[in-house]
Structures are given as C-alpha cells and as structure tokens.
Structure 1
Amino acid sequence: MATISSLGVGTGLDLESIVTGLMDIERQPLDRLESKQSTINAQISAYGSFKSKLSTFQSAMESLSSASSFKVFQANSQDEDLFTATATSTAATGSYNIDVTQIATRDKLASSAFTDYNTTVGEGTLTISVGSESFDVTIDSSNSSLAQIRTAINNASENTGVTASIITDDSGARLVLTSNETGTDNAISVSVSGDSDGNDSDASGLSAFVYSSGGTQNLSSISSAKDAIVSIDGFTVTSSSNSIANAIDGVTLNVKDVGSSTLDITRDDDAILESVNEFASAYNALMTEIKSQRNGQLEADSTLLTIESQVRDVFNSGASITGSSFSYLIQAGISINKEGVMTVDEDKVNEVLSSDFTSFANLFSAEGEGFANRLESLADSWLQTDGLIDSKEEGLNARLTSLDRQKEQMEARLEMTETRLRAQYSAMDTLVSNLQSQGDYLISQLSSMNSN
C-alpha cells in the first residue's frame, strides 16, 4: 500500500493550506484571549505610571501637611570664619551674641626620636587610656618594632578612641598618638607593665611611651585636649565638641575659631513658598495624568473618577479651619483656573506669610482640616497595601492569571485538533492515492487485453 509523506500528494489538493485555514479559524478564540491580555498588560503599565504621579502628589502634600512643615528656619552667622549654625523645626526666630573664647582640640602626644620605623623598641604591655576608657596592647618579639607597635595599637579590637601614626623628621622616627575625639574627656595617658628592660617608667624600652598628665611624661605634648567654650548672650557653654547642639533650642553651632559675632535665626519663607509651588505642580501633574489615562488605556476605569472626585471635594469644600482665618486656598494666593490648572500668586503668598503666618500654616496643616493634611490622608489611603490602587492592580493581575490558565487549556485543545485534522486528511490522501493506483493498474490491464 502506498504511503503519504506530505499532505496532498495523493489527491493533488493543497491539503496543507486547508488544515492551516481550519486551524486559523479554531485559533480565533485564543487570539481574542491574547488581545485581552495585551489590554490588561497595558492597563497595568498605565497604573504604574499613574501610581508614580500619585507618589509625587503624596510627597508634596506631606511637605505641607503638619505644623512642623512650616517651622522652617535658617541660621545666619555674621562671621562664618568664627562659626556656622543650622536650625531645626524646634528653633525660634531671634538674634544672639556669640563669643567663642576657646575651640575644642584633640590630645596629641609624640615620642622621642628612634633611628627609623623598623627600630625595635621593647616588649611588654601598653595600657592606653582615652578619658575614663582604656585598652591593653600586648607587645612581644613578633611586633616590637616602632611600625609594628603603631599597627598593633590601631588594630586593637578594644581601641577606645586613639590613632597611632609615625612622623619621621631630621632626628628620626617618632610615634604619635592622637585622640579621635576632641575635648578634655578624651585626654590620652599611657602606662606600661612588664617592660622587657625591667623598668616600667624609664625613658627606654617600651616605657619610652609612658605619659601621665600628673606624673611621668616620656611623651611630649604636641597639643592638649581642650573643650570648646562659648558665651551666648553672656551665658557660658562648655562642650567637648566644636559642634554644640541645643545650647540654643533647635540650633546647632559649629565653632571654628576664637572671636565674637552675631547669629540670626529667621523663618525661611522661600522654602515654604517652594513647598507651595511643589504642591501646585504635583496637583497639576496628577490631573494631567488622570486626563491622559482617561483618554488612553484606562478610558472606562472608575478608579480615576473616584480619585478625581475625592480631590475636587477637598478643594471645593469651604469650611472653618482651626487656627486659620481662611477657608479657601484662593484666599492665600493659590487658585484653580477654568482649565483646571492650579496657579500660585507668589506675591500674595509672601504677603500672607508676612501678615498672617499662623492662618496660612493652618490652612494647609490643621489636623483633619487643612488642605494638604486631608489630601495626604487621601493619598495614603490610595497607595496603602490593599488600598484603592493596590486592589485594582491585584484584580488586573488575577485576570491575567486566569487568562493564562485559559490559554494553556486552549493551546492543548488546539494541538489535539490539529493532530486529529492532519490524521484525517492524511488517511483521505492515502485512500485516494491507493484508489488512483488501482485505477491506473486496471486501465493498464484493459489496454493490454485490447492490444492482444
């Protein structure tokens, strides 16, 4: 019996095209599923873009949603060579006379000169104290050179705040010990026990490093540990650090040199105005995004309408706000024009900041009433886990998962259908081919009989 190696050989028909055409029809439901998936993926992507705009909106609302947001102060030193300063939200406006009589310094001690950094010093135990804290460094034959002693001090696991270095001058190499922190609380002292030369306090061997402010001083003082001393409006403040925090409430002084000057703490209205402009920009960007998505992938999505409606409800609700003489943003220089774009009248804002700062601040930040406070709460609810956006994205992803399962099932059925069609048409092709062979044989036999 003849066999068919390719569809259509037996019949002469284009059976391959017939099977392909039939499978194209069978595949139409799968194509519709893939089209739905593409749409959902586009919607998920659109929500990603929308979510980004919402996050920006949330941050802008947060910057004006609490009273501390308006407590923006700048500290101005009249002589930054003497001191600088920074102010936090707990500061208050004012002017202060600052007199720096002493800056904080580190303790620094140096040894006598050795031939070079490879010179063997001695063995024993160094006890180095930094203020009330101390640590031991064991020196033996494996680490008794000047350089090795330096490394052993720096690598000591219990080092309480001293750095060892070597300075080589015309006289030789010297070990230098420096406290890591400034102030008298970080003064260095060194004692030795078990010196290999039998004397724990002489100027030779390991005891060459002994130093006590009230006793043996085999090291020489390069600089002494001192506290910073500052007079603020006649009141003396002593600090182990040159960074002095909260001597003036909410202010950190950073003293640099001895001298007198003035420190002014003022409210930073420019920073507040910048936050107001960011507030308007974030609102405009959100409304533009909503309009864009409504004309795009999220055309029929009710979530956009919900968010837009909630935002407009906040702006359109004029009500008494605790601590503010204003009920609407337009009263403070912020308006929304007929195109829906928010604009900021900076001159008006600056005027209100100067004339009625408290009302302006509460207009935005009053708990549960201020515009930025309410909008931040809304944005938080939209973006929180299981919130409006999260739930929408979960729903879209669930639909994708369901469509994936349907596709798998449909693709399996299509594979079975194509296998069945090919088997049927192959059998038909073989049958027709066999019939044609038999017909050709009979015709040849008849022709032979006629010839005979």
Structure 2
Amino acid sequence: MATISSIGVGSGLDVQGIISKMVDLEKQPLAGLQAKQAGIQAQVSTYAQIKSLTGKLSDAVSKLTLDSGWNALATKSSSDAVSLTVSGLAQPASYDIGVSQLARAQTSVSDARAPGAKLTAAGTLQFTPQGGTAINIAYTGDDTLESLAGKINDAVGSVTATIMRDASGERLMLRSKATGADAAFTVTGDLNFTQSQTAQNARITVNGVATESGTNSFDSVLPGLKIAVSQVTTTDAHVSVAADTAATRKNIQDFVDAYNELNGLLADSTKYDADTKTAGLLQGDSATVGLQNALRMLTMGSAGNATGSLRRLADVGIQMQAGGKLAVDDTKLGKALQESPDDIKSLFAAKASPDGSGGGIAVNFKQYTSQLLAFDGTLNSKSDSLALRIKSNQGEQDKVNDRAGVLQARLTRQYSALDTQMASLQSLSAYMQQQVANWNKKT
C-alpha cells in the first residue's frame, strides 16, 4: 500500500488550502471579540487616569480642610542682617530688631615653631572646657605640632585642632566647635597659647528688649518664629509676619485646576460628537456619567455650616462655565481673601454635621473623593467590573480558538484518511491495468 508523505498528494486536492479556509471561517468571531476587548482595555486605561486625577483632586481639597492650609504666614525684613522663619503657630505682628553682637567661637593659637620641628621634650597640655572637667593630653619629645593636633582631636570632642602656617612658621590652632560664651575653654601646659578670638554670644534687642543666644539663631524668643542674624546693625531692622494670601490663593487654584482636569477627562470620555458621529469611550456609561454629575453638583452646593455670608463658590468668584469647567475671578477672590479671611476659610473648611450634611465645599469634596477611592469604592468596583469583562472576553476567544483547533484536527484526519484511500485505489488501478496488459500480450 502506498505511503502518504504529504496531505493532498493521494487525492490531488489542495487540502491545506481547504482546511485553512474552513478554519478561518470558524475563527471569524475572533475579530469582533478582539475589537471589543481593545475597547474594554481602553476603558481600563481611562479609568486608571480617572482614579489618578481623583486622587489629585482629593489631595488638593484636603489642604483646604486643614488649618495649615489657611494659616500660612509670610515674613518680611527691611534688612539682610535679620531674617524670620515661621516654625510653628505664630500670629501676624511686626518687630524692630537690632543686632549689637554676633556669636562666635573661641580660637587660641600656640607660639610659632619651625615647620615639622619636634617638640624635643615630653609634656602635658591641659584642656578645660567652660564649666567642665579638665582633659590632659600627653605628648613626647618626638611629637610635632601636627601629631599633637591629632591627639587633641582624638581626646577632646568640643574643639578642632589644626595647623596654621604663616611667615613665622607653623602654629597649633584650637577652635571651639560651637559658638557662644558657654563654648569657651582654657588650655595650659608647656606650650604657650594666646587667645586670638574670644567666645561670645549673639546679642539683639527685640522692640528694645535685650536678649542673647549662643548661636546666631534665636529659636524661642518669639512664639512660632525663628530669628536669624548675620550682621551687626546700626539701625534696627523692621520685620513683619502677615497672612500669606498668595499661599492660600494657590491652594484654592490647585483645587480648581485639579477639578477642571478631572472634569475635562470625564467630559471627553462621555461626549458624543454629532459632526463626526463618534461617541466618547465611556459615552452612556452610567457609572461615569453619575460620577461627572455628582462632582458638578458638589461645585454648585452650599456650605450650610459656614459661619459668615460666603456660602457658595460663586460668592468668592469661582463659577462653572460651559462644559462644567470652573473659572476664577481673581479680583473677587482676592477681595474675599483680604476682607473676609475667616469667612472664606469657613466656606471651604466648615465641619460637617453628624449626619454628614452642611460641611464646607472642600470638606464635602474630600468626603466624596475618599469614598470613590476606597477599597470598595466606585472606582475600584468599576475597574474590577472591567477586569471581569476582559476575562470573559478572553474566555470567548479561547473557545473560538479551541473550536477552530478541533475542526482543523478533524479535517486533517479526514483528509488524511481520504488520501490513504485514494492512494490505495490508484495503486489497485495501476495493478489492474498492468494485469490486463499482460493478459492481452498472452492472448
């Protein structure tokens, strides 16, 4: 019996082409399923963006719910010699600060010696910090000033010993690591030291009241403020602390920008373009449309518990435009910040009632965005739903591919069997023709 080495040889048919076309017909549903899955993947990507922008909005409104978002202070000084830094809770005020003395460290130097010369005789240096216990540093005749400096640095943590070279030779210089009178020290021994610079505190007056510090920083003289001085003054520096309306304005603008960015993405995703007859990726999606509407309602809501005349965003110049975008009237907002700082703070940050109602605009936004971003919130639920749709779609694709694979295997077996039969018949036919030819010859 003939052996078939290639399917179709026995029958003379284009069997591979026939099987391929029939398998392609079986796989036709894949195109629709793959297109559908691409659309779902695009929705997944869009919801990841929505979640990210919701987080950005939540961060922005969070600043407006906290006292720190409204109590920012700015400092100003009439002189570079004096500066103020806000370090805690402080009140707007102004001060006149004069600097009569800067803090400095003590420096003591030894007599000059030839560079690298040995000390020739053993001895002891006694180092005594201000109000502390004396420390003895022993040296030998083979020591030099440089090796003695190393011993001092190892033994005494409050000074730095270095070698200073000048035209007279080299000297051992001791300098206290800290500034201020409390960092003073004495050094005695066989080597002679001269105090070239005394330790001293910084001295200032604040509105005529004298005070001093071991450093050029005064951290506790004024509540919530740090004073730093860098020069002695001949005229008092006038420094002031005032509400930082620029920082507050920026916090409000950050909220508006974050809202507009999220609203823009939601609007683009849900719109229908009548001119091009194309729908947004999430057009008609109830969860997305509901999210868009809820956010817009929050911007138009009122702060029921606000203490003052400002109850709505429009009262401070923040109004909704076409398409849901917020626009800021800088003049109106600036006036509210200057004239009614407490009222505008209450508009955004008023506490909600126990039932969750009446909160400030930022408080309500924070509550809603936190719910959206929660583990079991709307955004994660929507993402999970889309993930299930992708899994289901992939399952349908797998079924189509499995059916096509089964069909291909079955057709291959059938046509292989047909080829075997056709080859056998052809072989029998050839044999019969040969026998007839032989018979004819004999007859």
TM-score class normalised by the smaller sequence: 0.7 to 0.9
Residue deviations 1:419-446 (CA, integer Å, cap 9, x gap) = 4543443233233222222222222332
Matched, 1:230 2:199: no
- The one-letter code matched in structure 2 to 1:47 is Y
Equivalence for 2:289 = 305
Deviation for aligned residue 1:389: 2.4
Deviation at 1:288, TM superposition (A): 0.3
Superposition deviation, residue 76 in structure 1 = 0.6
Give me the TM-score of the superposition, normalised by structure 1: 0.79
- Of 326, 329, 339 in structure 2, the residue corresponding to residue 345 of structure 1 is 329
**Alignment partner, residue 284 of structure 1:** 260
Q: What CA deviation, in whole Å up to 9, does each residue of 1:113-133 have, x standing for no partner?
A: 454469689999999777778
Provide the rounded CA distance (Å) in 2 between the counterparts of 1:52 and 1:257.
49
Structure 2 residue aligned with 1:336: 320
Shift of 1:84: 1.5
Post-superposition offset of 1:43: 2.5
The reply on whether 1:323 has 2:276 as its aligned counterpart is no
Q: How do 1:8-47 residues align onto structure 2 when only pairs under 5 Å count? A: 8-27=8-27, 34-35=34-35, 37-47=37-47
Alignment of 1:247 onto 2:221: yes
1:202 alignment partner in structure 2: 190
Within 5 Å, give how 1:122-137 maps onto structure 2.
none
- TM-score by length of structure 2 reads 0.80
Deviation at 1:363, TM superposition (A): 0.8
Assess if the C-alpha contact under 8 Å between 2:105 and 2:177 holds in 1: yes
Deviation at 1:36, TM superposition (A): 5.1
SS in 1 for 2:89: coil
Maintained 8 Å contact 1:320/1:326: no
Q: Residues 69-148 of structure 1 correspond to what in structure 2 (within 5 A)?
A: 69-80=69-80, 82-87=81-86, 90-116=89-115
In 1, distance between residues paired with 2:324 and 2:98? 55
Residues in 1 aligned to 2:431 and 2:124: alpha-carbon distance in whole angstroms: 116
Number of the residue aligned with 1:172: 169
CA distance in 1, matches of 2:256, 2:23: 57
- Are the aligned partners of 1:243 and 1:255 in contact in 2 as well (CA < 8 Å)? yes
Quick check: 2:123–2:190 contact (8 Å CA) kept in 1? no
Quote how far apart the aligned CAs of 1:373 are.
2.3
Q: Which amino acid aligns with 2:92?
A: T
1:432–1:356 Cα change, 3 Å? same
Q: Residues 126, 424 of structure 1: CA spacing in aligned structure 2 closer, same or farther, 3 A cutoff? A: farther
Instruction: Give the match for residue 180 of structure 2.
Output: 183
In structure 2, give the amino acid aligned to 1:232: V
Q: More deviation in 33-42 or 100-109?
A: 33-42
Where does residue 356 of structure 2 map in the other structure?
Answer: none
**Shift in alpha-carbon separation, 1:106–1:384, aligned structure 2, 3 A:** farther
Shift of 1:287: 0.6
How far has the Cα of 1:96 moved from its partner? 0.6
Distance 1:134 1:23 in 2: 97
3-state DSSP class of the match of 2:64?
coil
Distance change >3 Å, CA 12–CA 174, structure 1 → 2: farther
Return 82-91 or 401-410, whichever deviates more: 401-410
Q: Secondary structure at the residue paired with 2:265?
A: helix
Q: Secondary structure at the match of 2:3?
A: coil
Say which SS state the counterpart of residue 63 (structure 1) adopts.
helix
Match of 2:339 in 1: 355
Gaps of 5+ in 2: 272-279, 353-358
Confirm or deny that 1:258 pairs with 2:271.
no
1:5 is matched with which residue? 5
Q: Report the alpha carbon displacement of residue 396 of structure 1 after superposing the two structures with TM.
A: 3.8
User: Structure 1 residues 363, 437: closer, same or farther in 2, change over 3 A?
Assistant: same
Identity %: 29
Contact 1:165-1:177 within 8 A present in 2 as well:
yes
**Quick one: distance in 2 between partners of 1:318 and 1:226?**
60
Q: What is the distance in 1 between the residues matched to 2:126 and 2:402?
A: 80
Secondary structure class of the residue paired with 1:12:
coil
Distance 1:188 1:386, change over 3 A: farther
Q: Deviations over 1:381-420 (max 9, x none)?
A: 3234443323433444455567667777876776566445
Query: 2:169 is matched by which residue type in structure 1?
Result: G
* Residue 99 of structure 1, CA deviation: 1.2
TM-aligned CA deviation for residue 68 of structure 1:
2.5
Assess, with a 3 A threshold, how the Cα gap between structure 1 residues 221 and 5 changes in structure 2: closer, same or farther.
Answer: farther
Rounded to whole Å, the distance in 2 between the matches of 1:379 and 1:131 is: 60
1:428 aligns with 2:418: yes
Aligned: 1:67 with 2:67: yes
Which is worse superposed, 121-130 or 51-60? Answer: 121-130
Q: How many residues get paired? A: 425
Distance across 2 between alignment mates of 1:238 and 1:180 = 19
Counterpart of 1:273?
249
The 8 Å contact of residues 2 and 433 in structure 1, kept in 2 or not, is answered as yes
What secondary structure sits across from 1:64 in the alignment?
helix
Q: Partner letter of residue 230 of structure 2?
A: K
Relative distance call for 1:25 and 1:277 in structure 2 (3 A) is same
Q: Distance in 2 between matches of 1:16 and 1:289?
A: 50
Query: Aligned equivalents of 1:120 and 1:180: distance in 2?
Result: 26
Which amino acid in structure 1 is aligned with residue 63 of structure 2?
S
Deviation at 1:293, TM superposition (A): 2.6
